[in-house]
């Protein structure tokens, strides 16, 4: 697991120092290369030799190669990596969902190239990849046993991302600044297929005020979903740092931009519908606060049967046109319909909403709908006004099971199954200490 960054408060050598010091500032070598102008700092502890890879002057460096700093005869005290230019300026914001812009401060934080020191503080390796098409300056400081410092600089440029092979976000849920329910997954949709799923998973760091175990699953090659082992604890902040710039999604296809997402988990609200009792009960923070009479799907066919399982509130509309043709039933057929409904709350992708149904005279008595839980106008209005995206809606008692990929049916998988379907196969703890594995590509 990637660790903390190198401290940045160490003193740098100034331009007015003696000639020996000036010679040391040019000492750079490439990975596996030979020394270039390397001079040891003579001190009571011996020599210090600092090497940086990629080497000074290198061009078209693959952005997913790690930056590595090594010190022989001393310890590393500071490494700074600065990037300018790059293909990130060409990136577009996600078209669907809301902005992932965490503000200037948040963007600067996710763009920062942090690194991890080994136990002996003789090797530093970057945690994340570099922005394609950027100019990179690496400044490293090492110290010998007497406290004498050596500063080394390497300047190089990274390979540009090829048009048509620039991985970007197409959409994300939730959005920055949004308050969500405790069952909220993190859903990321990409514009290009991802083959190197493990590296992409490891490039996205989720951090929460109350750390939990979580993991990513993939639904196709373009959609990645993160959920915790159990529901999020309520009333906390969650950040998602997507270090996608330079990550090789598939051969020759690189991410061009990093993204930051910040959202808040609100109160815990779980609603439960019992098919046989024709009721919906709402609990908030463990206390029952509402019970509503409802009428669910009449179950004469599968499509008219409400799905059972753990659902997540996806979106809501104060007024919505419901058209049976969207679920394969022509409007002009005997079972067809097209009508306006009020206070609709979506909880699947198979056309299921809670909504007001003033025409249904058997609420709390019989299941007569085409699959949607019908409610009174007052009940539907209350549920609409008091629901957050990410709230849990548990439906029990029907013989149609919710599929894991129907809407956000992700809680239908047990934790063991969810972990087995992760590309890394490992849990990621949301404590801000890094992700489970490597984000970099192979050797050049």
51's enclosing H/E stretch is strand 49-53
Which residues are paired to 316 by β-bridges?
345
Q: Helices (H), strands (E): how many in the chain? A: 5, 29
- CA-CA distance, 4 to 2, in Å (whole number)? 7
CA 425, distance to chain mean position in Å, is 17
Token pair 């019908």: residue: 374
Pick the catalytic residue: 243, 355, 370, 440?
A: 355
Residue 440 is a catalytic residue? no
Region of residue 126 (phi > 0: left; psi between -120 and 50: alpha; otherwise: beta): beta
State residue 290 phi and psi, 5-degree precision: -150, 145
- CA-CA distance, 20 to 148, in Å (whole number)? 12
Which residues are paired to 264 by β-bridges?
179, 237
CA distances from 140 to 81, 302, 417 (A): 9, 65, 44
Contact 124, 68 (CB under 8 A): yes
Residue 355 is a catalytic residue? yes
Contact 408, 391 (CB under 8 A): no
Residue ranges of alpha helices (H) inside 116-270 are 197-202
- CA-CA distance, 59 to 62, in Å (whole number)? 9
Contact 337, 409 (CB under 8 A): no
Picking from 83, 257, 254, the residue whose alpha carbon sits closest to that of residue 155 is: 83
- CA-CA distance, 232 to 281, in Å (whole number)? 21
Pick the catalytic residue: 28, 370, 372, 440?
A: 372
Contact 215, 225 (CB under 8 A): no
Structure tokens at 372: 């949607």
Active site residues: 355, 372
């Amino acid at each position: 697991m990637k660790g903390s960054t190198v401290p940045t408060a160490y003193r740098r050598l100034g331009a007015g120092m003696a000639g020996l010091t000036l010679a040391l500032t040019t000492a750079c070598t490439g990975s596996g290369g030979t020394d270039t102008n390397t001079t040891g700092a003579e001190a009571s502890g011996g020599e210090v030799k600092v090497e940086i890879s990629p080497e000074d002057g290198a061009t078209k460096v693959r952005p997913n190669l790690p930056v590595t700093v090594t010190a022989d005869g001393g310890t590393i005290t500071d490494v700074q990596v600065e990037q300018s230019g790059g293909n990130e300026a060409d990136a577009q914001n996600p078209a669907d969902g809301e902005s992932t812009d965490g503000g200037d401060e948040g963007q600067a934080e996710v763009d920062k190239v942090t690194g991890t020191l080994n136990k002996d503080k003789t090797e530093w390796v970057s945690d994340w990849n570099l922005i394609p098409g950027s100019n990179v300056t690496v400044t490293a400081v090492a110290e010998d046993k007497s406290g004498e410092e050596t500063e080394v600089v390497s300047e190089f440029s990274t390979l540009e991302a090829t048009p048509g092979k620039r991985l970007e976000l197409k959409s994300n849920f939730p959005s920055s600044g949004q308050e969500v329910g405790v069952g909220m997954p993190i859903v990321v949709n990409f514009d290009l297929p991802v083959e190197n799923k493990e590296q992409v998973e490891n490039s996205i760091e989720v951090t929460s005020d109350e750390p939990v175990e979580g993991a990513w699953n993939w639904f196709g090659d373009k959609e990645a979903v993160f959920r915790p082992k159990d529901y999020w604890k309520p009333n906390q902040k969650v950040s998602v740092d997507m270090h996608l710039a330079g990550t090789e999604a598939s051969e020759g296809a690189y991410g061009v931009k990093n993204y930051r997402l910040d959202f808040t988990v609100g109160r815990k609200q779980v609603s439960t519908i019992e098919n046989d009792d024709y009721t919906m009960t709402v609990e908030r923070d463990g206390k029952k606060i509402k019970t509503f009479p409802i009428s669910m799907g009449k179950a004469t066919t599968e499509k008219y049967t409400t799905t059972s399982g753990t659902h997540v509130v996806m979106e809501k509309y104060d007024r919505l046109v419901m058209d049976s043709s969207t679920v394969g039933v022509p409007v002009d057929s005997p079972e067809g319909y097209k009508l306006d409904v009020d206070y609709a709350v979506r909880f699947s992708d198979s056309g299921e909403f809670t909504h007001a149904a003033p025409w249904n005279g058997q609420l709390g008595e019989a299941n007569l709908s085409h699959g949607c839980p019908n409610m009174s106008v007052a009940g539907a209005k209350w549920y609409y006004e008091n629901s957050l995206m990410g709230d849990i809606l548990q439906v029990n008692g029907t013989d149609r099971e919710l599929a894991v990929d129907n809407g956000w049916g992700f809680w239908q998988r047990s934790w063991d199954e969810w972990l087995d379907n992760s590309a890394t196969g490992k849990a990621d703890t949301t404590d801000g200490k890094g992700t489970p594995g490597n984000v970099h590509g192979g050797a050049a």
